[in-house]
Structure 1
Amino acid sequence: MKLSVFSGKPYDKKYFDAANATRPASEIHIVYHDFSLSEDTVFLAKGSDAVCVFVNDSLGSAVVEALAREGVQAILLRCAGFNNVDLDAAEKHGLLVANVPSYSPEAVAEFAVALIQTLNRNTHRAYNRVREGNFALDGLLGRTLHGKTVGIIGTGKIGVATARIMKGFGCRVIAYDPFPSPAFKELGDYKSLEELLPESDIVSLHCPLMDSTRHIINEQTIAKMKPGVMLINTSRGGLLDTTAVIHALKSKHIGGLALDVYEGESSLFYDDHSGEIIQDDILMRLTTFHNALVCGHQAFFTEEALKEIADCTLRNIEEYVTSGVCKNSLTKDPKIRRRDSLPVRNV
């Protein structure tokens, strides 16, 4: 079976090759492309049984249709989010779409807490000062987290893991989610969004991006937050109206912002642009605030997570090939359009 991996980086190749080495010899032939899947690159999937994509690959209806024409049978997401895939088009053309629903949720939660700690205690600024021989403490004042209220928006596995850590700091934890999790009820109380925002000293986003959550943080919801609130986003950039957030930073209504994701990240993140003039004025404006941290979508980036992503992705296609169904499918499992090059093993 031929698997085309798009947006493949050296670390993807390392962990996918290691995971594939544990499979029977020559069962899966992996081809790596270091650029994203789009209408301009979809022709490279020709001859592939499946494609593997990441968060910034674009799989709208035109790309999905082109994949089907090329004989591709499955779209494998090496992430949990699927907002970049037209699932309706995939079902229409009989393509399996499967994700990695959980890959070390603690990794993302720990990174969110690292952002909170860095932003709160200004360790990033202190590091740069000391390197220049400046040991003054003025401008580095933080707040004790113990006793503060942390609002978690989205209580999937990552949100719950974040809540668990913050409760360990002695914080009061509250959450908003239309679909309550029994695991969170042991850690804190559910509130409506209108109740959560004015009560929270820190708001951390852990919900998926969909129509109902796009720009959930906007001019109106920011106005309901506490003055000086700290806002953290390690989920998806589209959850924020970035322009509204910038206005709130300028007015000091938002006291601190930490982003690991950005709405316009697809043309920038995961590549080195240090020798270029970056044309995104909104992102560049964010980087001018001393109380704003922007990272390059790295919260997931641990050895354990990369291993699980590779293993789960290959398990997804193996499960589909051997049984005709996949437990991590996001679409109705279509019938396999078998071809001679697609092996079916006895399990």
Structure 2
Amino acid sequence: MKVTFFSTKPYDREFFRRLNEVYSFDFVFYETHLGPHIVNAVEESDAICAFVNDKLTAEVLGVLANRGVKYIAMRCAGFNNVDLDAARKYGLRICRVPAYSPEAVAEHALAMILTLNRKTHKAYNRVREQNFSLNGLMGFNLHGKTIGIVGTGNIGRAFARIMGGFGCERLAYDLYEDEALSTAGVQYVPLAELFSRADIISLHCPLTEDTKHLINAASLKLLKPGVMLINTSRGQLIDTAAVLEGLRSKHVGYLGIDVYEQEEKLFFRDLSQTILNDDAIQLLMSFPNVLVTGHQAFFTAEAMEEIASTTLMNLSRLSQGLEPENPAALLV
């Protein structure tokens, strides 16, 4: 089987090549994202391996199908960038990695909370300049605070368990309640109640039509003054313009984002020698109470191993006329 990869970096190639020893697939790697500008470069490929910012539109899928591609393997959990109706129309089978390392993302959300709260990033830079003053570094105890968890799938569950260890009151919202979490002391409440009660809100829900701009001008009014917002899920869950206004008014006390609405133009690239043509991200990063990371929450060795292993296993089984071992991995 020939597999063409898009949006790859050296670490992607390292893990996939090592785990390919079992399968002996033929790999072609592109660093650019998949879209209309590059799709015609795909030649004699059985499968495409894509990532979070690739554009699998009806147009792109149509070209791939016409060029003989049979399978699309998403090496991520999200698939909001895939036109599933077009995939069905063209007879493409699409799989994903539904759960690679929930703990990796949950732990990064915690890291963002602790960094924003205790200002360790600022303390690190200050001490390196021989400034040992504590002025401006005061934080607050997490113990006893109310944590709002929006979405209690694999990652949300892992995050809830972690925050329980800090002695936090845990509120959760999901369309489907998790009995194990409820038994462990997590309280499921309506979303409006979670917004109004939580000191810290962490988003762990997928991006759908219903959740797009879940955090917007109207919902921000429900939040407690000084609330901390954390997003390690999908950038479009937050209306950037609205949260900027919330930061200006000081209603939003802290913001930690590992994802961003317009990240496909920025993330996973070294732009250190470039002038960014994105005023919103520049403005966000100018706030002292905002922490931005470049979609790295998933990025642990364990997660990369699981992503590569599951992706290759999915492709192997599909090529044999079998379903993926995890039913949630098959989208079409």
What TM-score comes out, normalization by structure 2 length? 0.97
Counterparts of 1:143 and 1:149, CA distance in 2: 13
Structure 1 match to 2:269: 271
| Partner SS for 1:47 | coil
Residue 194 of structure 1 and its aligned partner are, at CA, apart by 0.7
Structure 1 match to 2:315: 317
Structure 1 match to 2:198: 200
Which residue identity does 1:2 align to in structure 2?
K
Structure 1 match to 2:286: 288
* Aligned residue among 139, 144, 155 for 1:142: 139
How many positions carry a matched residue from both structures?
A: 328
Structure 2 match to 1:10: 10
Structure 1 match to 2:58: 61
Structure 1 match to 2:114: 117
Counterparts of 1:241 and 1:305, CA distance in 2: 29
- The answer to whether the Cα contact below 8 Å between 1:151 and 1:200 also exists between their aligned partners in 2 is yes
Which residue identity does 1:69 align to in structure 2?
N
Which residue identity does 1:222 align to in structure 2?
L
After superposition, the C-alpha distances for 1:233-286 in whole angstroms (9 at most, x for unaligned) are 000000000110011011110110000000000011001000010010000000
* Aligned residue among 121, 125, 129 for 1:128: 125
Residue 181 of structure 1 and its aligned partner are, at CA, apart by 2.1
Counterparts of 1:182 and 1:323, CA distance in 2: 36
Which residue identity does 1:252 align to in structure 2?
K
Counterparts of 1:183 and 1:116, CA distance in 2: 25
Residue 186 of structure 1 and its aligned partner are, at CA, apart by 2.8
Residue 180 of structure 1 and its aligned partner are, at CA, apart by 1.8
| Partner SS for 2:286 | coil
Q: Which runs of 5+ in 1 are unaligned?
A: 332-347
Counterparts of 1:194 and 1:276, CA distance in 2: 41
Which residue identity does 2:330 align to in structure 1?
S
- Is 1:247 paired with 2:245? yes
Structure 2 match to 1:224: 222
* Aligned residue among 293, 300, 303 for 2:301: 303
After superposition, the C-alpha distances for 1:52-75 in whole angstroms (9 at most, x for unaligned) are 000011111111111111110011
Q: Which moved more, 1:183-192 or 1:203-212?
A: 183-192
Structure 1 match to 2:330: 329
Which residue identity does 2:22 align to in structure 1?
T
- Is 1:167 paired with 2:168? no
Counterparts of 1:62 and 1:182, CA distance in 2: 42
After superposition, the C-alpha distances for 1:291-318 in whole angstroms (9 at most, x for unaligned) are 0000000000000000000000001011
Identity rate, percent: 53
Structure 2 match to 1:344: none
* Aligned residue among 232, 235, 260 for 1:234: 232
- The answer to whether the Cα contact below 8 Å between 1:50 and 1:76 also exists between their aligned partners in 2 is yes
Which residue identity does 1:3 align to in structure 2?
V
**How does 1:31-110 map onto structure 2 within 5 Å?**
31-110=28-107
- The answer to whether the Cα contact below 8 Å between 1:4 and 1:50 also exists between their aligned partners in 2 is yes
Residue 324 of structure 1 and its aligned partner are, at CA, apart by 3.8
What TM-score comes out, normalization by structure 1 length? 0.93
Which residue identity does 1:67 align to in structure 2?
L
